[in-house]
Structure 1
Amino acid sequence: MTAIDKPVALVTGASSGIGLAIARRFAELGMQVVLVGRRQGALDAAASSLGAAALSLAADVTSPADLERLFAEVKARFGRLDVLVPNAGGGQHAPLGQITEAQFDQQFATNVKGVVFTVQMALPLMKPGASIVIVGSTASIDPGPTMSIYGATKAAVRNLVRSWVSDLKGSGIRINIVSPGPTNTASLRDAFGEHAEEGMAFLTAKSPIGRIGEPDEIAAVAAFLASDAASYVNGVELFADGGASQA
C-alpha cells in the first residue's frame, strides 16, 4: 500500500501532547498523517518519531494565508483529506479583573478563528465518508475559576458544530468533538505556571476515578470518532474526562 492509497489524516497542534498522541494513533492504524504546527523543528522531530507514515508541515492556524498554503500542499501531495483533527489551542489562567486584551485575543484567535478556517479550508478536499474530529475541552461546560475566556472559546466551538452539522447535511461528512478533561501534558502544567503541583493535585482530587487522563486515552476516543465504527455518530460532544465535569 502506497501513501496515496492510505486514508489521509491531518492533525493541527501535532508536535506534542494530545495532538501528537492522536497523530501516533492514526499512524498505527495505517493512515498517512500530516502533522501541523507553528514550529518546524518540533514538528520534524514529532514526525520522525512516527516513521514514514508522517509528514510535517508548518502553519499558524490563526493565519488564513498559512492555512490556504497548507491545504494547497495537501491537495498537491494527496489530492484529498479523509480525517481532519483541529486540535491546536491553548488557554491562559486569569481571574475576572485581571483578564488582558492580549489574552482574550490570543485564545479566541487560536481556539475559535483557527478552528473555523481550518475546517472551512479543508472541506473542498473532503468527500463523503470523511470525518472531522475537533478537540474541545470540558471547559465548554465546566471552565472553573480563572478559565472563563478559555471556557468561552470551547463553548463557542461547541456551538459552531451545532450549526455546521446542518451546513454539512447531504455532504456525507461527519463532524464531532472530543472534549478532554485534565490530561497529563506539558501544556497543562505550563498553564498553572508556578502553581503547577497544586493545580495538578486539585484536578486529581476532583476526578471521580482518582486521576487525570493520558494523551493516549484521548487519542483512542478521537480515533473512534474518526472511524467507521462511529459512522452513525454526528454532531456530538464526547467528554473524555473520567466523569470530572459531571462531579
Structure 2
Amino acid sequence: MSDKLKNKVAVITGGSSGIGLATAKLFAAEGAKVAITGRNKDNLKKAVDSIGNQAISITGDVSNLANLAAIFQQVEAQLGKIDVLVANAAIYALAPLADFTEEMFDKISDINFKGTFFTVQKALPHMNNGASVILTSSVVAEKGVPQHAAYAASKAAVRSLARSFSAELLDRSIRVNVLTPGPADTPVFDSVTNTPEEAAAVKAGMAAFAPVKRIGTPEEMAAASLFLASADSAFMAGAELLLDGGIRSL
C-alpha cells in the first residue's frame, strides 16, 4: 500500500458491510485511523475485527441528530479531528408506486436524505480544514427504474447536496464529492429478496442490464472512494465519480 491516508482520521457511516466495510478496510490499509458507524452493535464488532489498524466502531442511527452529534464528539475524543468523512449509510426499499407506504417513504427520506444532510452538518465542528467529504449516491438517481421512485429521488438529493455543500465550504477548503455506484455485489440484494436464489437472480438480471455484463465489487467502489479521499482528487469539488459499468452512458 502507498499510505495515501497515513495518520488521517476517516469516518465511514454504514461501515459494517458492503461498500462501507470495503472502504474502511482499504482506508485502514492506507494508514488511516478509521471509525465506522452503524445501527447493529454485533455487526460493527465483526467489521472492526476485520478492518484492523485499531479501527473503532460507534453505534448510532444517522436519522437521529442526537446520535450523530455524539458520534462525532466520540471520534474527535478518541482519534482527533476528521480528515475524511464518507456519508455512506442508506437503506434500499423497493415497491410499486401504488403499494408504496408512507412509512417506507419516511424511512428512506430520513436515512438517505436527512441522514446524509445532518451527517455532514454535525461533523463540521469536528472536521479539519481541507477535509474531504464523500457522499454515496446511486446510478438510479438519473434513471427511470420501476419501483425505485423514492430511493432514486433520495439519491438524486444526495447528488444535489454535494454541489451546495461544496459551494458553502470553500472558505474551509473542504471538498464535497459524490461516489455514484451502479449495482455492486453487496448484502443489499439479500435485503430485498426472500431467498438466496432470488438474490442471485436479481444480481444476474442487473449484470445482464449493465453494458459490461457484470455487477461491480465493493472493492472497486472502495478504490474510487480512496481517490476522492486522497490528495489525488484535490482538483475535484462538488463533482461526481461514476462507477456503473456503463449503465448511464452506453
> When the two structures are superposed, what TM-score results if normalisation uses the length of structure 2?
0.93
1:113-148 Cα shifts (integer Å, max 9, x gaps): 110111001111222221001111111112511111
> What is the alpha-carbon distance in structure 1 between the residues aligned to residue 91 and residue 29 of structure 2?
26
Assess, with a 3 A threshold, how the Cα gap between structure 1 residues 147 and 192 changes in structure 2: closer, same or farther: farther
Q: Does 1:157 align with 2:148?
A: no
Q: Does 1:235 align with 2:243?
A: no
Q: Does the 8 A contact of 1:83 with 1:131 survive in 2?
A: yes
Per-residue deviation, 1:95: 1.1
Superposed counterparts of 1:55-94, under 5 Å: 55-94=56-95
> What is the alpha-carbon distance in structure 1 between the residues aligned to residue 165 and residue 103 of structure 2?
28
> What is the alpha-carbon distance in structure 1 between the residues aligned to residue 34 and residue 191 of structure 2?
27
Q: Unaligned 5+ residue runs, structure 1?
A: none
> What is the alpha-carbon distance in structure 2 between the residues aligned to residue 35 and residue 27 of structure 1?
11
Aligned partner of 2:247 in structure 1 is 244
Aligned partner of 1:135 in structure 2 is 136
> When the two structures are superposed, what TM-score results if normalisation uses the length of structure 1?
0.94
> What is the alpha-carbon distance in structure 2 between the residues aligned to residue 44 and residue 80 of structure 1?
23
Aligned partner of 1:46 in structure 2 is 47
SS in 2 for 1:234: coil
Q: Tell which deviates more after alignment, 154-163 or 213-222.
A: 154-163
> What is the alpha-carbon distance in structure 2 between the residues aligned to residue 204 and residue 192 of structure 1?
17
Q: Does the 8 A contact of 1:31 with 1:53 survive in 2?
A: no
Q: Does 1:13 align with 2:14?
A: yes
Aligned partner of 1:183 in structure 2 is 184
Aligned partner of 2:201 in structure 1 is 198
One-letter amino acid matched to 1:224: F
> What is the alpha-carbon distance in structure 1 between the residues aligned to residue 53 and residue 227 of structure 2?
23
Q: Tell which deviates more after alignment, 162-171 or 18-27.
A: 162-171
> What is the alpha-carbon distance in structure 2 between the residues aligned to residue 193 and residue 120 of structure 1?
37
> What is the alpha-carbon distance in structure 1 between the residues aligned to residue 166 and residue 186 of structure 2?
30
Q: Does the 8 A contact of 1:140 with 1:152 survive in 2?
A: yes
Aligned partner of 1:109 in structure 2 is 110
One-letter amino acid matched to 2:155: K
Q: Does 1:212 align with 2:250?
A: no
> What is the alpha-carbon distance in structure 2 between the residues aligned to residue 75 and residue 90 of structure 1?
27
How many residue pairs get matched? 243
Assess, with a 3 A threshold, how the Cα gap between structure 1 residues 120 and 180 changes in structure 2: closer, same or farther: same
SS in 2 for 1:62: coil
Q: Does the 8 A contact of 1:17 with 1:186 survive in 2?
A: yes
Per-residue deviation, 1:193: 3.9
Per-residue deviation, 1:70: 0.8
> What is the alpha-carbon distance in structure 1 between the residues aligned to residue 189 and residue 221 of structure 2?
14
SS in 2 for 1:94: coil
Q: Does the 8 A contact of 2:167 with 2:238 survive in 1?
A: no
